[in-house]
Amino acid sequence: MLSRVVLPIMTTHFVPTKTRSAMEVVETEREWTTDERTAFATFTDRITNLDVAAVNSSTDELQQPSPQLLVSSPHTSNAAASLEEVRDIYRETVMATNHYADVYDDTLEESIAQEFGPEVATAVLTSDHLIPQLRDRLVEYSQQARESRRSFLQGLKSESSALETADEKLTRLGADLNRVVGTCSFDDWTDTELANVDERLHSRERECEQLLVDRQAALGERRAARTHHNDHEFNEYVYRSLSVTYPVVSDTTSLIDTLRTAQQSVERALTNRELASDKELSTAVLCEESD
C-alpha cells in the first residue's frame, strides 16, 4: 500500500509583505521629498527678493568671500533685510513642512548647518544684516538642496516602479504555489501529475532566481541623490524604518525556501511511489518463483 504523503507547508497564499511595506515607505518618502523641494524653492524665491546691505565694491573680498566678510558687513542701510528675517523665512518654509518635526526634529542651527554648511550657518545665526555675498551663497546652496531632492525623487520613482513589478511577480508566483500545493496529501495524484508539479515548482524557483538577478542589476545601476552615493546607502536610508534593508530580496528568498520545501515533498512522494512499486514488483516475482 502506498504511504500517505502530507505536505508540511502552509496552505495560504504567499504574500510579499516586506515588499508591500517598502512600497508604502517609498510613497511616503516621495511625498516628504516633494514637500522639501517645494520648500527650498520658496525659500530661494523669498531670499532672492530681499534687500541687501551695501558693501564696498572695491574690496577684493567681494570676489572670494571669506568667513569674516559673511559674518560682518562694513556698511548697512535701513532698507537691508535683517538676518532675523532670513531665519524666519527658513522657519516658515523648510522647517514648516508637515513631516519636519517628526522626521528630523532639528533645531534651526542644526538644520541650516546641515543644508548650507557651518560657514554660512555661522553668518546667518550671528550677523545682523543680509549682504550680497551671503544672499548669493544662500541662494546657491538652497538651489543645490532643491536639486538634491529632485535627484532623490528620481531614485524614489525608479524604486517605486521596481517594487510594483516585484510585488506583481511575487504575488503571482505565490498564488501559483498555493494552487499547486494547497492540499493535505498527494494520495490521489498520478505519477504524471506529480512529475508535472515538480517541474512547475522548479520553473517557479528559476523565475524567483531571475528576479533576484534583475533586482541586483537594477540596484547596481541606480544613481540617487548626492547624499546616497550607492544602492546600499540608498536602501539603508529609505528603509531605515523597516526590519530589512532589501525587502524584495528578503521576500524572494523566503518564497524560494517555500518552493524548495514543496519540491522536497513532491519528490519524496515520487520516491515513495517508486519504492512501493519496486517492492510490489519484487513481491510478485517471489510469488511467481514460489509457484
Query: Vertex 246, ends 13 and 111: CA angle to 5°?
Result: 130
- Of the candidates 114, 113, 120, 116, the one whose C-alpha atom is nearest the C-alpha of residue 69 is 120
Answer whether residue 274 is part of any domain: yes
pLDDT in tens, 214-224: 998 888 776 54
Answer whether residue 12 is part of any domain: no
Answer whether residue 203 is part of any domain: yes
Other Cβ atoms closer than 10 A to 137: 19
* Predicted local confidence at residue 56, as pLDDT: 59
Model confidence band, residue 230 (pLDDT cutoffs 50, 70, 90): low
Which residues constitute the domain of residue 97? 17-290
* Predicted local confidence at residue 122, as pLDDT: 96
* Predicted local confidence at residue 74, as pLDDT: 47
* Predicted local confidence at residue 194, as pLDDT: 86
Answer whether residue 7 is part of any domain: no
Model confidence band, residue 290 (pLDDT cutoffs 50, 70, 90): low
Answer whether residue 5 is part of any domain: no
- Of the candidates 51, 63, 67, 52, the one whose C-alpha atom is nearest the C-alpha of residue 120 is 67
Q: Flag the least confident range among 16-30, 107-121, 212-226, 243-257.
A: 212-226
Share of the chain above pLDDT 90, in %: 58
Model confidence band, residue 191 (pLDDT cutoffs 50, 70, 90): confident
Which cell is 137 given? 551663497
As a whole number of Å, the end-to-end CA separation of the chain is: 23
Q: Please determine, for residue 68, whether its predicted confidence score (pLDDT) is greater than 50.
A: no
- Highest-pLDDT range among 183-192, 217-226, 244-253: 244-253
Mean residue pLDDT across the chain: 82
Model confidence band, residue 78 (pLDDT cutoffs 50, 70, 90): low
Cβ atoms of 13 and 273 within 8 Å: the answer is: no
Number of domains in the chain: 1
Answer whether residue 61 is part of any domain: yes
* Predicted local confidence at residue 108, as pLDDT: 96
Distance CA(152)–CA(163), nearest Å, equals 16
Q: Flag the least confident range among 83-92, 115-124, 279-288.
A: 279-288
Answer whether residue 130 is part of any domain: yes
pLDDT in tens, 122-147: 999 999 899 999 999 999 999 999 99
Answer whether residue 234 is part of any domain: yes
Of residues 192 and 76, more confidence is placed in 192
Q: Flag the least confident range among 2-16, 168-182, 209-223, 254-268.
A: 2-16
Q: Please determine, for residue 281, whether its predicted confidence score (pLDDT) is greater than 70.
A: no
* Predicted local confidence at residue 5, as pLDDT: 45
What is the rounded average pLDDT of the residues 37-66?
Answer: 75
* Predicted local confidence at residue 177, as pLDDT: 85
Model confidence band, residue 91 (pLDDT cutoffs 50, 70, 90): very high
